[in-house]
A and B are shown apart, each in its own frame.
Chain A
């Protein structure tokens, strides 16, 4: 009788043992499969977060004489890993004139001072894309009429609701901006948008030109025409984004190797706080899952080896009989292995179903734990950061895949083989006569 038939007979005739082994293996494989599913989910979540969170860097070239110029921006945009979206901006002051040369009114109520020469001036912010400006993103500015400035716009302006009503301006009207200081440039601009500030002034008090009512947004061409007259476009700040935040350091060093700018005079600020916060949670979660996988595999192997040791001791009688009949130890060992593997292979299919049922719940529980642990650490460092953590990663989609199932077949087989070897070793190193003596 070959070992396959012996193994089959053992499984089918010793039903109690087979069912018990099925249950043990089911718990073991469900736990491991669940951990694998969560690990895959965290990898996917990490990738999604990396691609969805805007991470990048800002180059402040204000102190560089020529500032950022078009060819440098092109060089940066051509660098591998730089995302397509970007924003180039500058801050300057300009006097507001009507088309017939009359100075326009600005708001002075609430200003701590009205500096000399700025009685009809306001702060100007030029942008490639005004919707990406921090005033609109973080300071509560809202476009209530018209449209935002984009890369194709030339000599356009977005003014405040108050400034527009003070001077009778509306969408489509034209006004003139005048440079302040050494420049005597004048540029005609068309009103393309009107905004209102929904939050109070950030600093509380400010000189007249910095009051929200007197701030305007224009395009970068306007800024360059007003202050440079060299036909090129100049930018004080460049906000660039990367496709993969994990590659940010490498991309940044590539960017800084671009010649033509005095990098030592530039201030480069990395903007990846959201990614770092999410990364911290994911790393904690991944570490937790990895730890659990190792613990579950280790405990499963030991537990299985312990149970099989007891079973093999009970089967010393059968082992002695088979040895006396001329079956070699290897043949008997493989029979024991096949018995467990036959049960295991059926069990692993069932574990696919059970782990699918519980994986999502366990995944969310672990995520909460990881977020809590991370929050505690972050709260100690900075309260505000901790709040952001929970916003960046609040759910995780855990599904058990067929590749996970394949993995459980490989690892499960390994665990069963190791357990069988560990449990059978004391018996298999005995001589047949010793085994038969133990039998009697």
Chain B
């Protein structure tokens, strides 16, 4: 006997209670939206602009988060976030947003509140003199690095991420555009490969996945950055796989049984493909869990977004894509005045939506 997570002939009524599931999804999206004013959307420096530095003080340098923060505040950096990173080594992750007026740091250096050594100060001024960007955000990193070295001790700057406000705006706009373009292209592809009436269900499921993934990030107070965006786009492509598996079976069944209750047919198709829908997600989830556990800080936001996205994507293929198809087909049948009893989910399906291509057998 082969291992089977779903027994053949399983008949779970997924479609009959579609209102409940759609309601749950809408509720989660509503909670996410409601959470935005409460918790705010946390944008990473990729999108909001700002500076992130990973500092490693050399062995034997005595310091703590408070001292690192004190140096930053002395330099006029407003609301810096300082997190101790390493256990054995003195690593600190320092972040701060775009300063309204980066010249405050220059002034803090001149007034002595920002403890940059005199020699470093002169070297900096000399270096920045010709470049016309003496007070720009980009030079803040240099000034605070010198201040740390002078006030706390020798250090190595392991990582710097500085994103200016203009670049942040562009990346944010580009990110939203990328998601919109991906959705549009998928809509066209599904419309072309299946039938125009199949496409909205797939795209509504995608929008649903993106909305819930983003919603969970808002609710948990996680940060959006480029890595999360990459994960969301990967989820867009990936969660569609499950939807396509279901749709393919729906089309095949439509071609096989021309007179069929559509709700029942959808239910049958979802049940028949349930094992592969779940299995494909499980294998991918294993890979994502490996990334989450071993991948380290750099890929963590990516792995979290993928994890949420894959779970939500699998759910939406079953509970969102199929009901949308049902709803649209019912509306379509009603408009054509054919056989529709008027009640969603109980209308006889007139004919396969794409009779020509639909007859080709598919998995």
A interacts with B: no
Interface residues of B (CB under 8 A from A): none
